[in-house]
Structure 1
């Protein structure tokens, strides 16, 4: 059986990459890598989570031993701590939340925006930037201004860039019938259930219990799949995030952020604290900060007057010397250059891709930079914002969802063109317990009630 994001032989190259990104000494990593490669192990990070064939039994035994050696190289960072008190010590003083009521249209817009942004990115997930552009151009949709279609797509391009296998039957304009099931929507639905149940008393253990009760293991990926395995192995938090989990700084936590933000409108520090509680189950360092940052964006989006204001607020919850802070700064600077006419869309995306060359397409850092750029440049234009995010060619459905959520919150439901919202038909399909579908309006109503109760 080919098992993605879990086979020990695939975790080794991912762990080597993770440790290099976190600054581990090459003198420690190189001998381990040589021994692994000499034994026949691959040092190439599998883009889709699993090598083509499972390893021979003896190589898998070695992989487990190598992972233990690499585990010993994990080291704390003064600039990138994991514990809440250490993170807060690096942040500027918290700003008192604004005493502002939240309009239903903005919460509704955030849910609609998250759904539409995710849906736009679903059929082209795993297709690189160049392939997305070729598909869009060939079908008369470049620059991207509507959902993707297979109608009129030349066979040659379709063969070169096949649609995402799971999403193509439900996510092209000709077959969309409501928002199809996706982890980018399952997690917000689960977070809403969790916060309705536990409120401010939410613990990371509550999150772990909810995962086991509500999420099939096959519907979680990367860091979440590693954490799921560690939960079942009875490992305590935060070992669930660190043990044989090379995906601990990838985007999986960031996509779980939104409801933690919407539950605390304008209180970005409280939103970040709630997101930290969730993130530490599966992530460390910039993986944690990614969820904190996105939660702060969502918190601010419900009351802010502009994307710039929301981005400024979110900056205050990210450790300033962290790699995420640098990525967001780059994204915002690139966005300013784009709107100022110093860069084109192509050259702006070139700037981001050059900065993160070689980084996996579902990492937190590159996708956060892309999201920040999209929001900085197009925060007042829903369609342009999600189109830019998806055209970037990294985690298309996830970054589209986050950007759509924030811009939807800023503009409200009435500020999103019906061309994006009408195909949703007020429905989200889900694998969560409680029924196969949720009403988007009802989710927004529950979220608004939750935010009133959390204040």
Structure 2
């Protein structure tokens, strides 16, 4: 089928709807929250139940964001296979932390499937009822990770259902797969109709009519036809006939499927009402509200997303993969990447404006999507009001509007994009997100600014960063710009040295010498915000902290990692690794000092694309140094003799230029090798066997 003209906007709306539902339902997700308790504590559900500083990561978003990367990493020019998605599970998840619920082998379906993959059980056997039992196979995860497959196949519910089933088969089976097919087909169908009944029927067409899943959908339909104005009658019916007492396990798909269909019918095509009903009904609230939010959000489009649900999201979510860089997710950028993937799958040429609007390796915001803010914030909301402006920007529709309300001499307002997150900004530790900065010292920041002044004196903007360790606002005065009226100007600067720490804000300071009698009043517009170029930075472990069970700015995969005396210390009883840095870093030099204290395998990791794909160079047994390639298993590429000893400090350096890899120890070249397997990625450290090691003096010159 041809890609519809409003494809990108519909995907954007669907993704916003999904995250609104997740955020609404998350506070009352635990099974202790009955519908009665929800109503007793919160009354009528008609808005977010809790005000989060920053909404933490959630498995209902992690899965849709990362499991479709199977199409980027493996199934690039062929049809998707279950094992492709299984590799995405293993590569982007850190064992035992983040991504999904690690509730125990034989308890959590996802945890069990992950362990099955490690045991050598391939997908789809890893999620089959034969392997795990029917109850485990039919828990809710089959349908909560599949929204993106529906968006990749607009108006093609069969293809969406097929891909969703393939993906879900890594961990689920039977009705677990039917739920995946049904929800994905509904999302795909929502591109071309605004009739909820039609969407549900098209979803039902993709699953067996005699399945339990189809039966609960039909049962809800009948109750709705009898009581179209009272969803509580339907919810009471579900409790009596399809409740958790009849479908055991932690969170079975069938009762929650009933709530999803109930919310779709009684929501009557209204996004807010649909996710509110799904939340009020209890059971797995964030999963159900997220799924129906995806469907209805896609159906109603951007204009159908209420501001009360959209504004707090501010175009930003965080996730909890192994890549801290990818975990800071700008929603417009992500949906552009997804839409481009959709064009590829449809074998259609994407519009030039969309291709130009997406820069995978950079931070690039052009505000081209209606209402988009790209997560921008201000330190002075009393006098600076940030909002989207969909009129023409610098070259394309869309820009960020900053309404300046009576600033005068002495007022300073920061407008910024948040490039790094700290634990103190979150209300909870849910799904343990970890972060690597989106901006580094040495990179260039560029943006277009336009002043529309009503009154007041000169307006000056000074680029700045905030140091996340000292909390100091570092203004880059040499790039200060006096704004001209009614003219687009370029503000550009190089991010200064953060001295072993990082910038967690990148933006500009607004100020004016305007007097109290003629205060500054007007609008400032921002467009084409861009962070790009080579980075030059250090990591000083005395300026880092342990947050979300990881040492900033790393994400750990297995092992115990901590800080001691200004160093990072690793200890593990089997292999372990830790990752940080720009996910798309290509060429450069990485240096680190390390002291091996136990074991015989201690290495510097580079060009890492996940826990299962990277290079590592370092000690590889007594008297040896190796370059090794990890690709779901560790393969030596070159080994040379090198006498090293425990307790001694060594400086490792790896230089990569295209396929050429040069490794040195203490300034002495040890080997040169050529390999083209991995062309970009993160860096970090690894112990390929049990052992312990300390790390310090990390330098990156990309």
User: What TM-score comes out, normalization by structure 2 length?
Assistant: 0.45
Does 2:342 match 1:451? yes
Cα deviations by residue, 1:77-96 (Å, 9 ceiling, x for unpaired):
xxxxxxxxxxxxxxxxxxxx
For residue 21 of structure 1, what is the aligned residue in structure 2?
none
Instruction: Please give the alpha-carbon distance, in whole angstroms, between the structure 1 residues aligned to 2:209 and 2:328.
Output: 41
Partner Cα separation in structure 2 for residue 190 and residue 415 of structure 1: 27
1:439 aligns with 2:330: yes
Distance 1:203 1:214, change over 3 A: same
Distance 2:225 2:335 in 1: 32
| CA distance in 2: counterparts of 1:217 and 1:133, whole angstroms | 37
**Taking structure 1 as reference, are residues 338 and 404 closer, same or farther at Cα in structure 2, changes over 3 Å only?**
farther
2: CA distance, partners of 1:452 / 1:304: 21
Deviates more, 1:345-354 or 1:254-263: 345-354
Matches within 5 A, 1:45-444: 100-126=4-30, 127-137=33-43, 142=44, 144-148=45-49, 172-173=50-51, 175-177=52-54, 179-197=55-73, 198-199=75-76, 200-218=78-96, 219=98, 220-221=100-101, 222-242=108-128, 243-245=131-133, 246-339=135-228, 341=229, 344-357=230-243, 358=245, 359-360=247-248, 362-432=251-321, 433=323, 434-444=325-335
Q: Write the deviation string for residues 334-366 of structure 1: whole angstroms up to 9, x where unpaired.
A: 334443x4xx23212101111213134621111
1:99 positional shift:
7.0
Q: 1:103 to 1:290 in 2, by over 3 A?
A: same
Structure with higher RCO (Cα < 8 A, 6+ apart): 1
Contact 1:204 1:280 in 2 (8 A): yes
Query: d(CA) in 2 for partners of 1:176 and 1:306?
Result: 36
Q: Assess, with a 3 A threshold, how the Cα gap between structure 1 residues 346 and 303 changes in structure 2: closer, same or farther.
A: same
Q: Which has the higher strand share?
A: 2
How many angstroms apart in 1 are the aligned matches of 2:223 and 2:338? 33
CA deviation vs aligned residue, 1:397-420 (integer Å, no higher than 9, x gap): 100100111110011122111100
Cα distance in 2 for partners of 1:104, 1:210 equals 25
2:295 alignment partner, SS class: helix
Identify if the C-alpha distance between structure 1 residues 391 and 322 changes in structure 2 by more than 3 Å, giving closer, same or farther. same
Unaligned runs of 5+ residues in structure 1 are: 1-96, 149-171
Deviation at 1:100, TM superposition (A): 4.1
Call closer, same or farther: CA 1:326–1:379 in 2, change over 3 Å: same
C-alpha distance in 2, partners of 1:427/1:193?
19
Q: Aligned-pair distance for 1:311?
A: 1.1
CA contact (8 A) 1:176 1:423 kept: no
**Separation in 2, partners of 1:354, 1:134:** 21
Q: Distance in 1 between the 2:223 and 2:331 partners?
A: 33
Structure 1 pair 237/304, CA: closer, same or farther in 2 (3 Å)?
same
Q: CA deviation at 1:182?
A: 0.4
For 1:369 and 1:441, how far apart are their aligned partners in 2?
A: 32
Asked if the contact 1:191–1:259 (Cα under 8 Å) also holds between the matched residues in 2, the reply is: no
Aligned counterpart, 1:51: none
1:88-144 C-alpha deviation (Å, 9 max, x unpaired)? xxxxxxxxx57744432211110000000000011111112221111112xxxx1x1
- Secondary structure, aligned partner of 1:370: helix
1:314 and 1:176 map into 2 onto residues whose CA distance is 37
For residues 237 and 451 of structure 1, what CA distance do their matches in structure 2 show?
24
Match of 1:158 in 2: none
Preserved contact between residue 298 and residue 405 of structure 1 (Cα < 8 Å): yes
SS at match of 2:326: coil
Whether contact under 8 Å (2:70, 2:87) holds in the other structure is no
CA–CA distance in 2 between the matches of 1:327 and 1:146? Answer: 28
Deviations 1:320-342 (A, max 9, x none): 11101101112233334443x4x
Q: Which residue of 2 is the match for residue 163 of structure 1?
A: none
Deviation at 1:318, TM superposition (A): 0.7
Q: Secondary structure at the match of 1:253?
A: helix
- Cα distance change, pair 209–99 in 1 and its aligned pair in 2 (3 A): closer
Contact in 1 for aligned 2:26/2:285 (Cα 8 Å):
yes
Q: Is the 8 A contact 2:144 2:180 kept in 1?
A: yes
**C-alpha distance in 2 between matches for 1:354 and 1:347:** 11
Q: What is the number of equivalent residue pairs in this alignment? A: 326
Give, in whole Å, the separation in 2 of the partners of 1:270 and 1:120.
30
Q: Distance in 1 between matches of 2:188 and 2:326?
A: 28
C-alpha separation in 1, matches of 2:191 and 2:109: 29
Q: TM-score, normalised by structure 1?
A: 0.68
Q: Deviations over 1:277-321 (max 9, x none)?
A: 111111111001110111101111122222222111111101011
- 2:587 maps to none
Take 1:268 and 1:239, find their aligned partners in 2: how far apart are those partners?
A: 25
* Superposition deviation, residue 176 in structure 1: 4.1
Q: Is the 8 A contact 2:67 2:88 kept in 1?
A: no
Q: Distance in 1 between matches of 2:111 and 2:85?
A: 14
